[in-house]
Structure 1
Amino acid sequence: MVKVVKSTILDAPVEDVWAVLRDFNGHDGWHPAIADSAIDRGQPSDKVGCVRRFHLNDGSELREQLLTLSDADMAFSYCLLETPVPLLNYVAHVRLAPVTDGDRTFWAWESRFDTPKGQEGELQTLVSEGIYQSGFDAIRAHMELEGA
């Protein structure tokens, strides 16, 4: 089993970052890899159990299900249901916390998943850098634009 743990500090208030991230269907508005996204069956994007279907910029389609969502903890978890990439049994957790020194946000994003034998390193890097780090960078840029 592969485990990916990434975290960052954003120069934005935690409530502002949470307002963006808690929308399980809003990632196409800030993540550079996402072309479009929709929630299946017209369910609300904050309903535990809802499924988002989205396309990457290369046309690949993925489906993910919201497993938990807590406004009190500013956290959610989700799993991959369908993906062209062999990230098997993928479950991810996102958690925010206030950094009171400067009214900033601590953001932790982690996951565990299985891969075909021999692809562990390649897929760990894909998730760590291609999804999580590019997501951190994109939210940082998005929050600066929103604040401008």
Structure 2
Amino acid sequence: MTRRPFHRHLLMLLALLTVPLAGQAHGPTRQKVTESITIDAPAATVWARIQDFDALKNWHPAVAESAADKGNEVGSVRIVKLKGGGELVESLERHDAAQRLYSYRAKNGGALPVTNYSSTIRVSEAAGKASVEWRGAFYRGYPNNDPPPDQNDEAAVKAVTGVYQSGLANLKSLVEGK
């Protein structure tokens, strides 16, 4: 009769114990949305329209107010009040006029079914036209397993995608005068 060394038994036991835990350890995964649009105008013109952290009310069709307490200074807090009701509180993380971009982070999900939301909007020049990219990363609104349908990954992605698409489409319309 051959005897296996003790450490082999211990390794087999540990392997068997971790298998059930791996199946239960899943939770929400970080979601990402990127939307972009080309606008028939110079990048400088488009950037002038959106560059101010408090200017969201001037170009996003769902926003009634977007006051920012410190303008474009990092740390500025923007209160976004939506036309249909609801509010978001966001803080400016980065503002770079030379690169035509700013990044912000939501203090809470607010009116969106998301948590830990951060976003960047950037304007670049492409063949004499402006290319605007709006990208964000976030977790669904419900952090535990088995989220309700209105706070699952699909709902979170759909909501953020809708915000970006409607904002970019309206920006294009405003800048191009159509």
- TM-score when scaled to structure 1? 0.88
Q: CA deviation at 1:9?
A: 0.9
Report SS of the residue matched to 1:49.
Answer: coil
Residue equivalent to 1:74: 100
**Deviation readout 1:22-72 (Å, 9 max, x if unpaired):** 1110111111110112123xx2x2111101112101221211111001111
Bigger proportion of residues as helix: 2
**Deviation readout 1:6-28 (Å, 9 max, x if unpaired):** 11111111000111111110111
Residue equivalent to 1:108: 133
The answer on 1:84 being equivalent to 2:111 is: yes
Residue equivalent to 2:48: 19
Indicate the RMSD between aligned Cα atoms, in angstroms.
Answer: 1.5
* Rg larger for: 2
Residue equivalent to 1:49: 75
Higher RCO (CA 8 Å, separation ≥ 6 residues): 1
Q: CA deviation at 1:84?
A: 3.4
Give distance in 2, aligned partners of 1:32 and 1:63: 18
Report SS of the residue matched to 1:23.
Answer: coil
What is the identity, as a one-letter code, of the residue corresponding to 1:113?
F
Q: Which runs of 5+ in 1 are unaligned?
A: none
Q: Which runs of 5+ in 2 are unaligned?
A: 1-29
4+ residue stretches of structure 1 with deviation over 3 A?
Answer: none
The answer on 1:140 being equivalent to 2:172 is: yes
The answer to whether the 8 A contact 2:122-2:133 is kept is yes
Q: Percent identity?
A: 32
Give distance in 2, aligned partners of 1:6 and 1:61: 22
